Structure 1
């Protein structure tokens, strides 16, 4: 049996190298998909000379671009290439033989041979392997502005001998334009992580980059002709941190503007949703909030004891009341948290960097810094690793303490009341992220969460039900089939039946 192999290529103004790339694979496969982003050169004209499927997807995110093309492909096995890459004859023959074998791994590393000014590079960080051949249903491609990577869902990883020839550094002008673009993309990544620039990073990191490539990794063995390349990498490092410094100053000005008390434009709505909450606990939290709020801020207690509605319903009631009274910042919280040692200015500081944010949650002798959503199972998990920076983006923040700007509510809307308890916060953050808002954590805001709900016998039932609702709402059909099979195996012990 010969397996179907498809080739996925992404392009943007790639006319200079695309013809050579397509020429090297034209006899290898019947399915070649090119995902283009509004090329203005002759890229599309070149593709017409070959049996190629063209898709248009306008984005600077290379990971999303790859993932989009991957979804559209019909072949079971995918070879992923850039427009400036050519497969060697050895690799071509190896791939043809591989597709005939009965048993294969789920993915394969392929070695790269990089070139500078059409000469081979053998040292200085230019020898590496990447997963470029994989089974379509066994791979994930995550969002990435540069250097998108394939991640296998299993550990079944093999290695091929044939090389991919990479012509990324073709002339001096081209590589410096490329490095300038990479620097801009790298800045966006660092901003999302909350990284800050410094004089040390601007002036010392470029020297370290050059030393690491040309000296430590023995780039000098290739010859002095490669010096412009290593200087180019140092230039990219320097430019990255200069641009990052400019961004840091810009965000700092926005932050000062946002937190300036003289403007007095920020009216906070503190929303606390309760259910059979003790009066003592209510009075304690009320005292803590009164120490934070000013005269124009509002406190809305929403008691769900009698109406028996869910947490999302209570939050929405509080938001609606806050909107009527002119509030433009909403702080959602549980009654079982403590806000000691937090002042109003500290709460507002994150608004210069984020649109929806939480803080460091201390719970049962552990600290959590927001949460991430598993891209395959769509389940939420809290982050225990402490970030290096004060402001960091994440998948979601918990509803025990969540600060939301009015702009987010205006665009995203209210919380989904179909969730009775749990995952309404994950759902809302997921929607905010998709709408382009910055969701994250201000690590200097620290609060204590007693988590009284852990004593509730129905917690596991509510959690499972809400997680399933979230999954069914956002999962694609492949994820749903996989989850249903997993559920049947787990709950009905199908493997045991098959052995009888």
Structure 2
């Protein structure tokens, strides 16, 4: 038996495509963090197992909440903008019978502004998403959470999961802003240091790594656009980190009182 878990918030653009692709599973678990569009109405067409948790503590915490509701022997974690193809469906059904592994990595093929990206570090982009319930949980990271497999071995599939990550530039800009803020908060909590020089140097390196070292230029115009947006996200992350430090420093300064 297989449970699919999906966390959502204002995912009406993608959720039908995602849930249609897994209509064959034994149960679908939705954990929503306060959608204001018709995401929940759309989800209700596929499952009655919809739960609301609006005290957002990060992607990792929210996915662990969804995991707690799963009842099947195996769990597949999906983002609302991901799709399981018929070929991947067959592969998943096959490997769940393989007793050698407790979890499986799946290659992810992502779409950026109308193009499937095969370079720039975006493919095969293995993500561990399929696992036996009880053998893994998600890290408590605010963003870029990881599935932590605590027992058993991890296998690797060859059939890709489709990821409709960025439909247009508006979505790119929104996610760059949101993810750079969340990443800055995580790094601040870990004692990392930001600053203008670090923002410039790390941003430049992100562009070079994406466009040249990881052959992003082979993805044409969108390869260049992706390299720029990666650089922007990195640049703003280090600047936001600096301002987190600056704010904390000012807050910690004792107030002087005139005598």
Paired position in structure 1 for 2:222: 225
Alignment match of 2:93 (pick from 79, 91, 96): 96
Q: 1:62 aligns with which of 47, 59, 63?
A: 59
For the pair 1:19 / 2:16, whether they are aligned, the reply is: yes
CA RMSD of aligned residues (A): 1.6
Q: Output one character per residue of 1:189-248: Cα deviation in whole Å (capped at 9) or x when no partner.
A: 011011221232122211111111001111001112332222111111111122222222
Q: Is the 8 A contact 2:88 2:160 kept in 1?
A: yes
Q: Give yes or no for contact 2:59–2:142 (8 Å, CA) kept in 1.
A: yes
Tell me the SS of whatever aligns to 2:232.
helix
Give the equivalent residue in structure 1 for 2:102.
106
Q: Which of the pair has more CA radius of gyration?
A: 1
Contact 2:8–2:31 (Cα < 8 Å) also in 1: yes
Post-superposition offset of 1:52: 4.2
Task: Check conservation: 2:115, 2:222, Cα contact below 8 A.
Answer: no
| Rounded Cα–Cα distance in structure 1 between residues aligned with 2:99 and 2:213 | 41
Aligned to 1:35: 31
Q: Structure 1: 5+ residue runs without aligned partners?
A: 265-500
Deviations 1:157-214 (A, max 9, x none): 1111221001111100111101100011011101101122123212221111111100
How many residues align? The count is 256
Distance 1:5 1:93 in 2: 13
Deviation at 1:263, TM superposition (A): 5.4
Q: Deviations over 1:474-497 (max 9, x none)?
A: xxxxxxxxxxxxxxxxxxxxxxxx
TM-score normalised by structure 1 residue count:
0.50
| Distance in 1 of aligned mates of 2:167 and 2:127 | 21
Contact 1:34 1:55 in 2 (8 A): yes
Alpha-carbon distance in 1 for matches of 2:233, 2:98: 46
* Closer, same or farther: CA 56–104 of 1 in aligned 2, 3 Å: farther
SS of residue paired to 1:78: strand
Partner of 2:127: 130
Please tell me whether residue 193 in structure 1 is matched to residue 190 in structure 2: yes
Moved over 6 A (4+): none
- Report whether the alignment pairs 1:248 with 2:245: yes
Distance, in Å, in 2 between the alignment partners of 1:225 and 1:153 is 38
Q: Gaps spanning 5+ residues in structure 2: where?
A: none
Using CA pairs under 8 Å that are at least 6 residues apart, name the structure with larger relative contact order, 1 or 2.
2
